[in-house]
Structure 1
Amino acid sequence: MTGQARRIIVAGAGIAGLTAALAFAARGCFVEIYERAPRLEEAGAGLQLSPNATRILASLGVIDALSPLAVRPEAVVLRDARTLREVTRVPLGGGAERRWGAPYLVAHRADLQGALLARLRSNDNIKLATGAVVSGFASRPDGVTVAVERGGTTEEISGELLVGADGVWSSIRELTGANGKSRFAGDVAWRSTLRAESPAGRAFQSIARSDVVTAFMHRSVHLIAYPVRGGSAVNLVALAKGQAFAKIRPEAADPDGLAAALRGTAPGIARLAQEAGPWTLWPLHTVAPAAQWTAAGRVVLIGDAAHAMTPFAAQGAAMAIEDAATLAAFVAAAPADMGGALARYEAIRRPRIAQVSKRGALNRFTWHASGPVALARNLVLAVLPGAKLAADLDWLYGWTVPEAES
């Protein structure tokens, strides 16, 4: 680091915060990350990384570390959960990489976090502190002073920008007084990861292939399954209406509750629900994207802290990664105009987030259709060629970080 390097402070060491640190450091900034957890542990479950995200991760040198543990699925396959019949598929694999210039990957969240950390630890311009809580900030004309509590003491850290990347229950969002409270979306997610060679893994392979992303569609629930951990495990998530409960940590799921949600699906799916446990239950919370993203000209929210969305478009991680790269580009391009850079960043990102959220809502409606609507859905999807379904995703997967005005 030189004496003139710009100093960026990041709250949160999840996917958004770690990606932001790498993106800012790549543009010559010095970055300090403060994470409230005492240690970074393996947590979460699987995630899908579409080309709009992997393109950025590749530019930051992360894909090389992630690739041995990730899987490149051959397709996204939609199946009727009652009959297990394939309705349609979107081709991925090599064709996706040729079409969108980057791979479509599925991975365990902990493996992505590990790859980000490996890249971060090789960069002397990034410092990470755990067990550290950002408890306040004061904006100045030339920067921001951040209060950080750790080890029973409070210290003040100065920088040019505070990035709130601390998730759906963001404390930075609360500190700004933003009107964006997280709210329960009305859906819950049952999650489990099973070994591919276990009895449950073999039960799964009897109803679907393990080298694709499969969505089993049903009127009251849909089940998503795809390989992780280099193909040695399968990630399962069932999404349905449910009740809100305590935030922060998932609860152990009652298998009877999942069995009830899956009532009416094929026997193979119901059997899988019994054999695949243990399951954890997560409430889905969102943050209205219209809420405030910036404060005092020196504080900005990214990822779930700004606009947590439901997972029906499989774009939560991708939007956090896009946010991080776009923010770094716009801030780096305007060294003397932080307020203007944040305004331009927000103007670019809001329409994109709104469009992705609408796609998620459409997916949920499509996957949970019933009766004549489901029949019409199946008929329409069955006649659409895979190339047409892929082309309909060009706006999403072909996205690149916009050029920032200097």
Structure 2
Amino acid sequence: MARSGSDTVKVIIIGGGVGGPILALALQRAGIESEVFEAREAEAEERGSWLNFQANGMDALRSIDAAGPLEDAGYEVDTMSFVNGKGRSLGQLPMAARRPDGLTSRMLSRDALARGLRTLAEERGVTMHYGRKFETARLDPAGVCAVFDDGSEARGDLLVGADGVWSKVRTLIDPHAAIPRYVPVLNTGGFIPGLTVDVPEKEFRMQFGTRCFFAWMPTPDGGTVWFANPPRRHEPERGALEAIDDASWRALLHELIGQDHGPAHEIIDAAPGPVEAWATYDLPTVAHWHDGGRMVLLGDAAHAVAPSAGQGASMALEDAVTLARCLRDVPGGVSGLPVALARYEELRRGRTEKIVAHGHRSANDKAAGPVGRVIRDAMLPVIFRRASRDGGASMMWLQGSHVEFEERVAF
């Protein structure tokens, strides 16, 4: 529903990663003007390696006709299998029960996901600004003014913080907002062309190793996707991980893998360099998602989730479509913004906080100590057997959700 006259709303979106461009596309379909501002330059690569882009995220893209560039990207994932350090099977699970629409999870690089979404947004006429680092915002009777590090400004009626786990918009909404919580595992990984591993097609093998969680998956083109979660009990100081060189990371991974059974040592040696690692953070709860009418959070800025849940990108996309629906359907245009933001939070908070809690539990299982490992390895087969009996239905709360963009939001 396009707005006109005094009802016209303009949205300023801070963050051009995953959620920002899709929010702009959803708003475009709703007839609402927006601009996206990204701190990095257009050619900068996304931080991180590969991610499990789950089916509910693709569903959110489909709901606004934005899935096309990604439906065949990366590699389909159908099954997760689990082994311990000795190579003994702990169980196997489908990623989830089959959705009626046939959508499945896909393993793809974080950079390919973000770049594909930005390219689509640009092709459809979304205004994307790069190299514009957000500093602060001023509120006045006319709306909100975003201020950038080069002294430039942008005015609108609503400022959306899609600016990640260290969101500046979040601290403007609530200067006392909880800081991100460190999750005691690091992340590293990537893609190795020309290396094959003995795992069935579309299966991701997850190893709860003696000292390190390690995972690998074959790809149809003869390569291997892999990741590892080296445990790190205490949060690293700023810059400490970046100071560790490729050879040191490889040596550490070899040491942690030790005598664990499987191809991990071969993968570490074959991985294209430089091997790097980064810290993980989540946000258990953010007290204030919006300020009552002029600023609101989206994606990791509101509910960062550990990568072990495989839901960070998908949650941002569900947020984007839901927020656009609320802004489209709320009566009153600008005057209705407080109601729209409250409804958006009401629709999203419960689901996202449940997923954050799920991801935190999964991440801590990977960092279990000697006693915890014994208990974990004894319990996981029981848990996996129970979960596999229903053909993945128990996982559908994660991947089976559907956001219907055309459905009107009730207020």
Q: Could you say which TM-score interval applies, normalised by the shorter chain?
A: 0.7 to 0.9
Structure 1 unpaired stretches of 5+ = none
Structure 1 residue 347, shift from structure 2 partner: 2.2
Q: Which amino acid aligns with 2:172?
A: L
- The equivalent residue for 1:283 is 279
Local SS of the residue matching 2:77:
coil
Contact 2:292 2:341 in 1 (8 A): no
The answer to whether the 8 Å contact 2:58/2:67 transfers is yes
Is the aligned partner of 1:238 residue 2:228? yes
Query: What is the CA–CA distance in structure 2 between the aligned matches of 1:303 and 1:75, rounded to whole Å?
Result: 27
Offset of residue 101 of structure 1: 4.9
Equivalent position of 1:96 in the other structure: 98
Post-superposition shift, 1:55?
0.4
Cα deviation, 1:150-178, whole Å, max 9, x if unaligned, reads 4xx423x2212111111122222233325
Whole-angstrom CA distance in 1 between matches of 2:119 and 2:152: 29
1:388 corresponds in structure 2 to: 390
1:46 touches 1:106 (CA, 8 Å); kept in 2?
Answer: yes
Checking the alignment, whether the CA contact within 8 Å between 2:58 and 2:71 is kept in structure 1 is no
Distance across 2 between alignment mates of 1:366 and 1:287: 18
Structure 2 vs 1, CA of residues 136 and 371 (structure 1 numbering), >3 Å: closer, same or farther? closer
Instruction: Note the alpha carbon deviations across 1:161-219, whole angstroms, 9 max, x for none.
Output: 11111112222223332513234322211223211x1xxx13xx14x345322211235
User: Where does residue 114 of structure 1 map in the other structure?
Assistant: 115
Matches within 5 A, 1:59-208: 59-83=63-87, 85-91=88-94, 96-98=98-100, 101-124=102-125, 126-141=126-141, 143-150=143-150, 153-155=151-153, 157-176=154-173, 177-195=175-193, 197=194, 201-202=195-196, 205-206=197-198, 208=199
2:85 touches 2:261 (CA, 8 Å); kept in 1?
A: yes
How far residue 141 of structure 1 moved from its aligned partner, in angstroms, is 4.8
What secondary structure, in the 3-state scheme, does the structure 2 residue paired with 1:388 have? Answer: coil
User: Structure 2: where are the runs of 5+ without partners?
Assistant: none
Aligned residues: 390
* Cα shift readout 1:95-134 (whole Å, capped 9, x = no counterpart): 6243x6532222111221232123212223x201111122
Contact 1:81 1:266 in 2 (8 A): yes
Contact 1:215–1:223 (Cα < 8 Å) also in 2: yes
Query: Following TM superposition, by how much is the alpha carbon of 1:247 offset from its aligned partner in structure 2, in angstroms?
Result: 6.1
For residue 399 of structure 1, give the secondary structure of its aligned residue in structure 2. Answer: coil
1:73 Cα shift? 2.0
Q: Which residue of 2 aligns with 1:222?
A: 213
Secondary structure of the corresponding residue to residue 191 of structure 2: strand
Is the contact between residue 184 and residue 364 of structure 2 (CA under 8 Å) also seen in structure 1?
no
RMSD across aligned C-alpha pairs, in angstroms? 2.8
Match of 2:344 in 1: 345
1-structure distance, mates of 2:336, 2:142: 10
Inter-partner Cα distance in structure 2 for 1:219 and 1:333: 53
Identity score, percent: 22
Structure 1 residue 11 displacement after superposition: 0.6
Contact 2:133/2:148 (<8 A) preserved = yes
**1:281 to partner: Cα distance:** 0.8
Instruction: Decide which of 386, 396, 399 is 1:397's aligned counterpart.
Output: 399
Name 2:290's counterpart in structure 1.
294
C-alpha distance in 1, partners of 2:326/2:121?
21
Report if aligned partners of 1:185, 1:286 keep a CA contact under 8 Å in 2: yes
Please state how far the C-alpha of 1:18 moved relative to its aligned partner. Answer: 1.5
Q: Distance in 2 between matches of 1:363 and 1:389?
A: 20
Secondary structure of the structure 2 residue equivalent to 1:158: strand
Question: Within 1, Cα distance between the matches of 2:383 and 2:145?
Answer: 56
1:376 to 370, 375, 379: 379
C-alpha distance in 2 between matches for 1:135 and 1:373: 45
Q: Is structure 2 residue 301 aligned with structure 1 residue 305?
A: yes
Contact 1:65 1:118 in 2 (8 A): no
* Helix, strand or coil at the partner of 2:152: strand
Tell me, in whole angstroms, the C-alpha distance in 1 between the residues paired with 2:409 and 2:390. Answer: 32
> What is the CA–CA distance in structure 2 between the aligned matches of 1:135 and 1:304, rounded to whole Å?
18
The one-letter code matched in structure 1 to 2:339 is G
Report if aligned partners of 2:192, 2:270 keep a CA contact under 8 Å in 1.
no
Distance 1:101 1:247, change over 3 A: farther
Aligned mates of 2:201, 2:49 — CA distance in 1: 17
| 1:15 positional shift | 0.6
Do 2:16 and 2:118's aligned partners in 1 also have CA atoms closer than 8 Å? Answer: no
